[in-house]
A and B are shown apart, each in its own frame.
Chain A
């Protein structure tokens, strides 16, 4: 009780200082904008005392990787007594550990003990933080982190769950938004749990080519340097090699939004709120993220030929990789960025089709004479001739590489059919859009994964800020609004700081199974 005034005071200070930093859903994050290495997540409520009555003290166990354990619930269902992992060389195996407690546990730290294990942090970029030297040798590389809560639209989250996931029934009656443990954060130690809360840790172990034998280790959790959990596991390396993963089809590919990365990244030493897209630091930030994307089988490269091809995202537009300048003597296109992006993505291991988005959308360009940025609407009579001029110029620019470039035409644009003809006439292909979202982020994605239409935001900001669950139920709008309709508004799989989501880890597991 004595703490309460202090907390209230601290909260009040935070609110005045940082109230301007809000998530897409209007929730004040109460900390600096766009945190990178560490952050305080949204406060989770404690579980209902009745359902926690059987729990006394601190518990820990391995959990099932397929299951999502909500913070407020006592882990239910079968919990493995022990963990015996098997993995092929080149495989990444996952495990989920659980700690739950009926009382408050502070300053929790985790570690992995065992011979032959080398930590591998998922770094936003190696250059950003002092890390140990590049791991080498035949040891197993592991990454371990808290699974942190993020606000999801209920239906959008449900759509990412397998049909038989027991969580489905548990949350289908929840309000339309809820906190889901999803973001695997290997950067933050010192979290608190409880009272009456469950917290998961996610372990990923990569088995290198030369590894063999059985490895044993313990996952250790401490509170104020006192060990509160120490759970053993073993991993046997099977003498087989996992082939490179691949996305099953082109529609299985994931949208990588480089503009999200530049917008989010603002390391203090770079002195800017955002990185200017395509600066050196932007590429540094993107490299590990793109390498991660390539490692799970992605080959296609998402590119944009004009500004904001998804038209949905005031705060996080996908910028244009082609520069459109209308000078006094006609159009001048510049492909510098397009070229650099494709080259860079290839360097990071993506080498497939370049999927170009943006045809059929309002075209933003520099009107050089007026020294103004203008927009040419698809309904304008000049639109199709302009696109024709662009496509011809683009084709000439691409020369021999044109076969790799394909266009994604929006299904809802009145000019899509006309554009399809233009595209075909020049020998380009049309392709389907990405089926998932790798890293196209709303505001403050570490806190709130929802893409909330502007119409909902007003209603939401009226809701009580600072409570655990903000609902937009009362806004009397369709829940589909929260589930995303374009690849850029689907729940993204990778968080800032190159933090993977649990959903991404499960996708890797399924692709590994398919490869096996």
Chain B
């Protein structure tokens, strides 16, 4: 009992440490005195969720009231903005939103200051995949600070003179409240004195969004659970580690995440390519003294079960049978140390080892009742390697599902891939997505580094993350894949403070921050996913007005430059037009 109490204490302590407050980098941006000339004291107003407010700028538009409309079961989003000419300790409180017969409790909303983080400043965006590969030093770019982190843990924000911060509110409209208007107040205080009472009205639509469990959107954001343990300095799979993971997993589940990112070998993305490699294995590979293999699924089982308990249960994507360096690490009982099996999928050694593994793994999965959910997942592997891999899988376990995030549509293997995610700038052949859907196969697109717009970089326009799901919808995709939602790449650098990274644009590998903090990017991605679900429902009801409103977005999706949005400044208006129709 004593021991259990100790473990519990340690666990709470670690979880606490993980969520604790942090000091952001002192703002090094300079306020423009002219802009602040007429400003006095501290003011607050409703702003826009499309804007990352400059930490030193006076907001252009300042609204006194705000009305948000959403279906019941949908989360709606608001951003207020506070700016202070003299500086002050800013705090806020959100009242419950009261309707005639019911209440939307403030406690159900997630509200927090939007905090800036240091990022590289790019005068022109180029293909982000080449960052760091041209030998430019970390300090090759000027730095700036961009508002992205939503931090509910920060209750009082000491904001210096001539600075500005956002306050973000993500408000889930309960499914069981009656349609109608719900009114509340966002009170903003400076040095304990109320400086603004901002009325907020939420209009709950008569329609109800299906529960997230029933969303069709195939959302596959990769999760690196190891990065969470590393960041907190807790041992992998300790009680503290699980405690850290739980809120992230639950957040992802209710955001529509369908896939469990599982690893079945060490360093699926190779070793030595930055810390992208730091996915360890959830399956332990042991080579016995007699040369036979033994796999241990204990951690895999616990991880999958944990994710399922948190609500992510549709698919288990196992990386990888095709790691980027074709090296498989195993513990060799004969040497008492790790060894590397270097084998490409077309080699006899590979076939021998993986045939044995697949039999063993499949039997294990069947025993757990997970076989049907499991996909052997590969990332960006060329055709010949995929064909060799598929041959091995089909021979060993003919019905094993396969998943691929590929930068090329490969017709030769299309039918073999259950879950095929294609680089967003490529297309499936016309009609193929529909054929695949009829055959029970998933087709999605993914965004990584070559896309300039839309993307999910820390400095990307917030509307782009909403646009992603509109893009998926108009192209007929089943959903979206992105590496990664949690993978903090720099050892010893807190992503809450500094998002710069030598080989990627900031934010390439995470949308969620330490301490279960969300971001403008993640919240708006979820907004788009909700819209995708609403579009799916409404179009199935034959809403031609919406279909017509989507037409420009459809044209936009197939523009001449597939790495950007042709007229991205038109995007917000197009999206808000559709939203208006959906909430009519």
* Chain B residues within 8 Å of A329, by CB: 298
On whether the beta carbons of A336 and B302 are closer than 8 Å, the reply is no
- B289: chain A residues at CB < 8 Å are 278, 323, 334, 336-337, 340
Q: Which residue from chain B places its CB closest to the CB of A307 in the assembled complex? A: B336
In angstroms, Cα B331 to Cα A3, docked, is 53
Binary flags per residue of B279-319, CB closer than 8 Å to A gives 1, else 0: 01100101011110000101100100000000000000000
Q: In the complex, A370→B332 CA distance in Å?
A: 16
Q: Which candidate, A361-369, A447-455, A476-484, is the interface stretch facing chain B?
A: A361-369
Query: Does A364 lie within 8 Å of B235, measured CB to CB?
Result: no
Proximity bits, A220-241, B CB within 8 Å = 1, else 0:
0000000000000000000000
B561 within 8 A of A: no
Could you tell me the distance between the alpha carbons of A373 and B337 in the complex, rounded to whole angstroms? 7
Q: Identify which of B266, B298, B334, B337 contacts A368 (C-beta below 8 A).
A: B298
A482 to B291, CA, bound (A): 38
| Min CB–CB distance B281 → chain A (angstroms) | 5
Interface membership of chain A positions 295-339, coded 1 if the CB is closer than 8 angstroms to chain B and 0 otherwise:
000000000000100000000000110011101110000101100
Contact of B284 with A371 in the complex, beta carbons under 8 Å? yes
**Ranked 7 nearest A-B pairs via Cβ:** A336-B289, A323-B333, A369-B237, A320-B336, A337-B289, A370-B236, A277-B334
Given contacts A336-B289, A336-B290, A369-B236, contact A328 B299 (CB under 8 A): yes
Q: Would A368 and B299 count as touching, CB distance under 8 A?
A: yes
Nearest CB to that of A341 among chain B residues? B289
Contacts of A467 in B (CB 8 A): none
Q: Which residue of B has the minimal Cβ distance to A308? A: B336
A393 to chain B, nearest CB (A): 16
Q: Is the CB of B335 within 8 A of A369?
A: no
- Identify which of residues 20-65 in chain B touch chain A, using a CB-to-CB cut-off of 8 Å: none
Check A276 for interface membership: any CB of B closer than 8 A: yes
Minimum Cβ distance to chain A for residue B28 (Å): 39
Give bound CA distance, A369 to B238, whole Å.
9
- Chain B residues with Cβ under 8 A from A334's Cβ? 288-289, 333
Distance A323 CA – B333 CA, assembled complex (angstroms): 6
Q: In whole angstroms, how far apart are the Cα atoms of A328 and B291 in the complex? A: 24
Closest-CB distance, B397 to chain A (whole angstroms): 24
Q: Which of B281, B331, B335 contacts A319 (CB 8 A)?
A: B335
By the criterion CB–CB under 8 Å, are B298 and A328 in contact? yes
Question: Given contacts A334-B333, A369-B237, A371-B299, could you give 14 more A-B pairs where the C-beta distance is less than 8 Å?
Answer: A276-B332, A276-B334, A278-B289, A320-B336, A334-B288, A334-B289, A336-B333, A337-B289, A366-B284, A368-B284, A368-B298, A370-B237, A373-B331, A373-B337
- Give the nearest-CB partner of A282 in chain B: B334
In this assembly, does B338 line the interface, its C-beta being within 8 Å of a C-beta of chain A? Answer: yes
Nearest CB in chain A: distance from B289 CB, A: 4
Complex A-B: 25 CB contacts under 8 Å:
A276-B332, A278-B289, A279-B334, A319-B335, A319-B336, A323-B333, A323-B336, A325-B284, A327-B284, A327-B298, A328-B298, A328-B299, A328-B302, A336-B333, A364-B336, A364-B337, A366-B286, A366-B331, A368-B284, A368-B296, A369-B235, A370-B235, A371-B266, A371-B280, A371-B299
The size of the chain B interface, using a CB distance under 8 A, is 25
Most buried by A among B235, B302, B335, B338: B335
Contacts of A337 in B (CB 8 A): 289, 333-334
Question: By the criterion CB–CB under 8 Å, are B281 and A371 in contact?
Answer: yes
Chain B residue numbers with a CB within 8 Å of A372 are 280
Chain B residues near A370 (CB-CB < 8 A): 235-237, 280
Give chain B interface residues in 322-352, CB to chain A under 8 Å: 331-339
CA–CA, A31 to B296, complex, Å? 44
Task: Count how many pairs of residues, one from A and one from B, have CB atoms less than 8 Å apart in the complex.
Answer: 71
Which chain A residues border B296 with CB–CB below 8 Å?
A: 327, 368
User: Of all chain B residues, which has the CB nearest A329?
Assistant: B298
Residue in A closest to B333 when the chains form the complex, CB atoms: A323
Q: Across the interface, which residues of A come within 8 angstroms of B237, CB to CB? A: 328, 369-370
A278, A364, A369, A371 pick with most chain B CB within 10 angstroms: A371
Contacts of B333 in A (CB 8 A): 323, 334, 336-337
Distance, CA A327 to CA B339, complexed state (A)? 19
Closest to A277 in B: B334
Shortest Cβ distance from A18 into chain B, in angstroms? 25
Chain A residues whose CB sits within 8 angstroms of the CB of B302 once the complex forms: 328
A323 to B337, CA, bound (A): 10
Residues of A close to B335: CB separation below 8 A: 276-277, 319
Instruction: Please indicate the chain B residues that have their CB under 8 angstroms from the CB of A307 in the complex.
Output: 336
- Chain B 232-257: CB-based contact to A (< 8 A → 1; otherwise 0): 00011100000000000000000000
Interface string of A336-367 (1 = CB under 8 A from B): 11001000000000000000000000001010
How many Å lie between the Cα of A369 and that of B281 in the bound state? 9
Chain B CB within 10 Å — which of A323, A329, A340 has the most? A323
- A86-105 near B? 1/0 per residue, CB < 8 Å: 00000000000000000000
Q: How far is B405's CA from A318's CA once the two chains are assembled, in angstroms? A: 45
Give the Cβ gap from B263 to chain A, nearest Cβ, in Å. 9
The residue in chain A whose Cβ has the minimal distance to the Cβ of B338 is: A373
B residues within 8 A CB of A277? 334-335
A340 to B334, CA, bound (A): 11
Q: Within 8 Å CB of A369, what residues of B?
A: 235-237, 298-299
A277 to B337, CA, bound (A): 12
**Alpha-carbon separation in the docked complex, A368 to B295 (Å):** 11
Alpha-carbon distance between A395 and B281 when the two chains are bound, in angstroms: 33
Cβ of A336: which chain B residues have Cβ within 8 Å of it?
288-290, 333
CB distance from B240 to the nearest CB of A (A): 13
Minimal Cβ-Cβ distance residue in A for B237: A369
Residues in chain B near residue A368, CB distance under 8 A: 284, 296, 298-299
A368 and B300 CA atoms in complex are apart in Å by 11
> Nearest-CB distance from A365 to chain B (Å)?
8
Q: Please name all residues of chain A whose beta carbon is closer than 8 Å to the beta carbon of B337 when the two chains form the complex.
A: 364, 373
Task: Give bound CA distance, A166 to B277, whole Å.
Answer: 63
Q: Chain A: which residue is nearest B288 at the CB level?
A: A336
B488 CB, min distance to chain A CBs, angstroms: 18
| Chain B neighbourhood of A327, CB < 8 A | 284, 296, 298
- A337's nearest neighbour on chain B, judged by CB, is B289
**For residue A364, which residues in chain B have a CB less than 8 angstroms away from its CB?**
336-337
Q: Which residues of A contact B280 (CB under 8 A)?
A: 370-372
In the bound complex, residues from chain B placing their C-beta under 8 Å from that of A328 are 237, 298-299, 302
The complex places the Cα of A239 from the Cα of B131 at a distance, in Å, of: 87
A279 vs B332: C-alpha distance when bound (angstroms): 12
Alpha-carbon distance between A328 and B286 when the two chains are bound, in angstroms? 15
Interface residues of A in 159-190 (CB under 8 A from B): none
CA distance A329 to B332 in the complex (A): 21
Shortest CB-to-CB span from B270 to chain A, Å, is 16
Of chain A, the residue at the smallest CB distance from B289 is A336
Give the distance in Å from the alpha carbon of A88 to the alpha carbon of B290 in the complex: 44
Q: Considering the complex, give the chain B residue whose CB is closest to the CB of A374.
A: B235
